Amino acid sequence: MTVKKSAKAESTETDQEGNQSDQASQVVYEEEPVVVTGGKKSKKRRRYSSRLGEIQRLERGSSKAARRLVNAVDRGLGVWAKNRNKSALKKRDGAVRDSLRNCSKAIRRTMIVASEAPADVVDAVANLKTSKRLFR
């Protein structure tokens, strides 16, 4: 937030002979309005039609789970490639010798990340109106 105010500056100059001459130079700044923004932003809501809302919520949960699985596989393959390259640099035929260990580390990382995917789908189903009516 910047505010520019008008100001006048006077300066005196000296000649080569030492005489002072008064010259008034003006520096004028324009004032800009100060805009104050604040308050709490309202959270945007997803809008669905009355008949298709439940299907869209279910689709959103399943796509979230699918995205999580893809990310899990990506992270697992990244761990495998990193460990494989490290083994290959350490010793001759190291990538083949340590393949079982590297594969198990990659699977462990994949399973840690992917274990949340079923919960995404179940959360989407649990929030549907039809399932709430079913368990009443």
pLDDT in tens, 89-136: 998 998 899 999 999 999 999 999 899 888 888 888 777 776 666 666
**pLDDT computed for residue 2 by the predictor:** 55
The pTM for the full model equals 0.56
Check whether 23 has a pLDDT greater than 90. Answer: no
How many angstroms separate the CA atoms of 109 and 72, rounded?
7
Q: By C-alpha distance, which of 100, 96, 114, 102 is closest to 78? A: 102
Across 116-125, b (16+ Cβ under 10 Å) vs e yields ebeebbeebe
Percent of the chain at pLDDT > 90 equals: 29
d(CA 87, CA 104): 14
Residue 131 is predicted with a pLDDT of 66
Q: What pLDDT is recorded for position 32?
A: 79
State the DSSP H helix or E strand holding residue 62, giving kind and residue range, or none if neither. Answer: helix 53-90
pLDDT of residue 13: 55
Per-residue pLDDT at 67: 93
